Chains A and B, each alone.
Chain A
Amino acid sequence: MSSRAERLSTLIINSTQQDGVQVITVHDRIDLYSANELREYCRIQWDLGDGKLVIDLGNVDYIDSSGVGVLLSLYTHSQKRNLSLAFVNISRDIESVLRLTRLNGFLPIFPTVEEAVSEFKGQAEHQSANYHGLLVDENSPLFEENGMSTGEFNIDLSQIRRLSNLIAQKAPHEIHEINLLEQQISELIKNAVRHGNKNDKNKKIVVSWEFSHHHARLIVEDEGEGFQNLDEWNEFYRERLRCHREGQFEKMMDYLSFRTDESVPDDGGNAMFAAVEYWNQGVVYNDKRNKVAVKRHFY
């Protein structure tokens, strides 16, 4: 378990991880001088904790109206971006400040870190139980091509990394984990070239992309017959999720790799498992299933 103490200009914060949740402990004061720093710090922490953040206020002995404003803005940010957030170990003094501002029943406050983490687990299970996997919806807004950049490429497998890298370069450099974005783009292109166009350079793929600080959206189309095993994949994926949810990791070994008659040995068979997690706003196919649109919100 890593624990880091950082001396920011006005704030002292410790951060650790517990069950995949980022837990930060704020010390001393949250006031006009430290408010902005805390807000920025939390956004980075959300990324590290995969969108789950617990803020321990047990060592805060003073909070002013700017401080209360930060807690509130962190909460609205979490709501907008579907992030998990909890405040824990609220002292009596701080509780009375929150009560004065009538925020005590509004903010996600839990007694302890453990209770917050267990609440997050419940939320995650609820979400994954409702998870759709791969969708088929030609009218999805994810297919809206207006304003996107587009390119057509006649490539085979040897050029996938290069093309993915070129596209990922168009994303703002402030985005964390650009390698991960590049990798996720490469998987979609790899599927289009290998499974769609059967590695035939005479066939083209059409890629459209759109990036901002807050999101990435991509559409990849090939000239193939379409992903015919999509329903089968969804079924496989749901079984896999169930094993994971129930902690049956031995049984999950049976669901490591989705393979069809066309799979080749260097085909991981796991790319789209990661894709439906990474592209957190959806992975949608057209009716013919030879065109996929994906979108991710960055936290």
Chain B
Amino acid sequence: MDFSLKKTASGHIVLGIKGDLDLYSQNELKELYQRKLRSLSRDLIFDMDMVEYLDSSGVGCLINLYQMQKASGFSLYFIRMQSQVFKVIKLTRLDQVLKIYKTIDEIPFNVALGERTG
């Protein structure tokens, strides 16, 4: 799995993920989070455009990171999910629990900020 970390003009941190997120690879993402992302102490955006395959271990990993972000008072957003990958999330009925948006422009950042301070 390949990762690319960048900061948008508006200052948001976007992690591009490329490859299958499954039983075999999910640990790479968890490690990256522990090593690099967690200490940023920021809202994170995962760009899922290049993820073509997701299995239950991958879903478990995403839930895990989502909860760790939440526990430290930050959000985790997902954007540009491919339809078959979104279906996997939808089958577990987590599409309304996780924050999934089509594009970065659709993320209601102010609302998230309100949640954090409130």
Interface assignment of A268: CB less than 8 Å from any CB of chain B: yes
Whole-angstrom CA separation of A27 from B88 in the bound complex:
34
A-contact 0/1 string along B62-98, CB 8 Å cutoff: 0100010000000000000000100110111110110
Whole-angstrom CA separation of A270 from B57 in the bound complex:
8
Q: Which residues of B contact A266 (CB under 8 A)?
A: 23, 26-27, 57, 60-61
> B94 is contacted by which of A241, A256, A269 (Cβ under 8 Å)?
A256
- Report how many A-B pairs have Cβ atoms within 8 Å: 79
Interface assignment of B49: CB less than 8 Å from any CB of chain A: no
- Chief secondary structure at chain B's binding surface: helix
Interface assignment of B53: CB less than 8 Å from any CB of chain A: yes
Whole-angstrom CA separation of A98 from B53 in the bound complex:
46
Residue of A nearest to B20 (CB): A161
- Chief secondary structure at chain A's binding surface: helix
Are A187 and B55 in contact, with the CB atoms below 8 A? Answer: yes
Interface assignment of B34: CB less than 8 Å from any CB of chain A: no
> A268 is contacted by which of B24, B59, B93 (Cβ under 8 Å)?
B59
Q: Which residues of A contact B56 (CB under 8 A)?
A: 187, 190, 268-271, 274
Whole-angstrom CA separation of A274 from B55 in the bound complex:
10
Are A269 and B60 in contact, with the CB atoms below 8 A? Answer: yes
Category for how many chain A residues contact B: 20 to 34
Q: Which residues of A contact B61 (CB under 8 A)?
A: 266, 268
Q: Which residues 148-192 in A have Cβ within 8 Å of B in the complex? A: 157-158, 160-161, 177, 179-180, 183, 186-187, 190
Given contacts A161-B22, A270-B92, A274-B91, contact A179 B53 (CB under 8 A): yes
Q: Which residues of B contact A158 (CB under 8 A)?
A: 24
Residue of B nearest to A50 (CB): B90
Are A257 and B60 in contact, with the CB atoms below 8 A? Answer: yes
Q: Which residues of A contact B27 (CB under 8 A)?
A: 266
Tell me how many residues of B have a C-beta within 8 Å of chain A. 27
Interface assignment of A225: CB less than 8 Å from any CB of chain B: no
Are B53 and A268 in contact, with the CB atoms below 8 A? Answer: no
Residue of A nearest to B90 (CB): A50
Are B91 and A273 in contact, with the CB atoms below 8 A? Answer: yes
Whole-angstrom CA separation of A267 from B57 in the bound complex:
6
Whole-angstrom CA separation of A50 from B59 in the bound complex:
20
Are B23 and A160 in contact, with the CB atoms below 8 A? Answer: yes
Are B84 and A179 in contact, with the CB atoms below 8 A? Answer: yes
Which one of B57, B87, B88 has the highest number of Cβ atoms from chain A below 10 Å of its Cβ?
B57
Interface assignment of A33: CB less than 8 Å from any CB of chain B: no
Are A268 and B91 in contact, with the CB atoms below 8 A? Answer: no
Are B88 and A274 in contact, with the CB atoms below 8 A? Answer: yes
Q: How far is the CB of A184 from chain B (nearest CB, A)?
A: 8
Whole-angstrom CA separation of A242 from B82 in the bound complex:
28
Interface assignment of B54: CB less than 8 Å from any CB of chain A: yes
A: residues with CB less than 8 A from B are 50, 157-158, 160-161, 177, 179-180, 183, 186-187, 190, 240-241, 244, 249, 252-253, 256-257, 266-271, 273-274, 277-278
- Top 9 A-B residue pairs of the complex, sorted by shortest distance between their CB atoms: A268-B60, A268-B56, A271-B56, A274-B91, A277-B91, A268-B57, A274-B92, A179-B84, A273-B92
User: 11 A-B Cβ contacts within 8 A?
Assistant: A179-B84, A252-B93, A266-B23, A266-B60, A267-B60, A268-B55, A268-B58, A270-B92, A273-B92, A277-B93, A278-B91
B: residues with CB less than 8 A from A are 22-24, 26-27, 52-61, 63, 67, 84, 87-88, 90-94, 96-97
Contacts A266-B27, A268-B56, A277-B93 aside, 14 further interface pairs with beta carbons under 8 A come to A158-B24, A177-B87, A180-B84, A180-B88, A183-B53, A183-B54, A183-B55, A186-B55, A249-B97, A266-B23, A268-B63, A270-B56, A274-B92, A278-B91
